[in-house]
Amino acid sequence: MIEPFNNDIDGDGVIEQDEVDIVKKRVATHRTMAIFAMIALVGSGGYIVAFADPSQIEAYGSALDLFWITLGGIIATYMGAEIWASK
């Protein structure tokens, strides 16, 4: 079984360059996903404040709640995992 932050993917006791590259790519992908979630969260909130009619907000209210909770969860999970990995 691979541990979450174990860089030795094949379990041979030696961390090779390709294993380091895989971990770096994984971390970069997680960071990119969190950044896009933050952009979507701020962008959708900005759009609603600037352009949306109150009737549109009421119509899409429950879907927007779920959307924002999901994006916030992605961001919080990324930040928590980064803090846990740095310890």
Read off the pTM.
Answer: 0.75
Please report whether residue 40 resides in a domain. Answer: yes
Calpha distance 7→2 (Å, rounded): 9
Please report whether residue 17 resides in a domain. Answer: no
Please report whether residue 33 resides in a domain. Answer: yes
Residue 5 DSSP symbol: T
Question: What is the number of domains present in the chain?
Answer: 1
What's the CA dihedral at 8, 16, 79, 34 to 10 degrees? -120
Please report whether residue 34 resides in a domain. Answer: yes
Domain of residue 79: give its range. 23-86
Res 84 pLDDT > 90: no
pLDDT tens, position by position, 17-73: 887 888 889 889 999 999 999 999 999 999 988 998 888 888 888 898 999 999 999
Backbone angles phi, psi at 43, to 5 degrees: -65, -45
Please report whether residue 11 resides in a domain. Answer: no
Please report whether residue 7 resides in a domain. Answer: no
Joined tokens for residue 25: 């790519």
Please report whether residue 44 resides in a domain. Answer: yes
Please report whether residue 12 resides in a domain. Answer: no
Res 14 pLDDT > 90: no
Q: Are 37 and 74 in contact (CB under 8 A)?
A: yes
